[in-house]
Amino acid sequence: MLIRYISYIALVFSANALSSEMNCKVIAISDGDTFTCLTDAKKSIKVRLAEIDTPEKAQPYGQKSKSALANFIFKKIVTVSSQGNDRYNRTIGAVYLDGLYVNREMVKIGAAWVYRQYNRDKSLLKDEEWARAARLGIWSQPETQIVPPWEWRKAGKALQQAVQDSKSSLAATASSSCGAKRYCTQMSSCEEAKFHLKSCGLNSLDRDGDGVPCENLCAR
């Protein structure tokens, strides 16, 4: 009987802990899914947004995801519905700002993935599909840079270096394309001349300022 009673008390305590709510003021943003807030009792709490995962700091879109979360909640009073603590002793929680479900909003604007391993709200997957279809945030990047953060962490330095090499290659291609040619006599087509005018800012190709570069090519 005593054992049953103790088990019952433990179950009730656990359920209450998991469903507890607190209000706190956000005082720091670590990344797109983690922040620190201060309770009315001046206790500092580190919170990890439940059911979503955002790019790591060094990962493409990592800083933008962090900024997106800051735009939502930094220096504001939020309500955190706790789902317990993780192994780093962070509070895992659903975060609300004036009734707005911040976890969901991060997914809807393309600043976060749904964290498949820990997701319990299947409706979030529809929000992710919508953001992907609209090419918002993360989904607006080149395909080679769209890597779920759990894969990024698992793959480690090899994948991170491959993505950085991809970014460097894209930048080098754009740079070389814009720096290689400067005069109409070097252009092989009107399309190439338009590219150098609009994408490279080579205004000398449009001497009369009518928006048409290298008229000897584009007037044909």
Q: Distance between CA 48 and CA 118 in Å, rounded?
A: 12
Cβ atoms of 125 and 51 closer than 8 Å:
no
Question: What is the distance between the alpha carbons of residues 111 and 137, in angstroms, rounded to a whole number?
Answer: 6
Where are the alpha helices (H) located in the chain, listed in sequence order? 2-19, 62-73, 102-108, 123-133, 149-155, 157-179, 190-198, 215-218
pLDDT band with cut points at 50, 70 and 90 for residue 171:
low
Which helix (H) or strand (E) element contains residue 101?
A: strand 100-101
Residue 165 makes CB contacts below 8 A (sequence gap 6+) with none
- What would the pLDDT profile of 180-213 be if each residue is shown by its tens digit? 777 787 777 787 878 877 778 778 877 777 778 8
- Annotated domain spans of the chain: 2-155, 160-218
Roughly how many angstroms between the first and final C-alpha of the chain, as a whole number?
96
Which has the higher per-residue pLDDT, 178 or 43? 43
For 41, half-sphere exposure in the C-beta direction (CA atoms, 13 angstrom radius) is 3
| 157 band by pLDDT with thresholds 50, 70 and 90 | low
Amino acid at 199: S
With cut-offs at 50, 70 and 90, classify the pLDDT of residue 19: low
Determine the pLDDT at residue 14: 41
Stretch 95-117: mean pLDDT: 97
* Mean pLDDT of the 66-79 span: 98
DSSP at 90: P
Please state the rounded mean pLDDT for residues 58-83.
97
pTM of the model: 0.65
Give the pLDDT band of residue 160 (cuts 50, 70, 90).
low
**CA pair distance 60, 170, nearest whole angstrom:** 13
Q: Which residues are catalytic?
A: 48, 56, 90
Question: What per-residue confidence (pLDDT) applies to 113?
Answer: 98
Structure tokens at 119: 């997701």
Which residue would you say has higher pLDDT here, 25 or 57? Answer: 25
CA atoms within 13 A on the CB side of 173: 6
Q: Which of 74, 58, 150 is nearest to 112 (CA)?
A: 150
Give the separation between CA 37 and CA 77, rounded to whole angstroms.
9
Residue 114 β-bridge partners: 52
Query: Does the structure show a pLDDT above 70 at 17?
Result: no
| CATH number belonging to domain 2-155 | 2.40.50.90
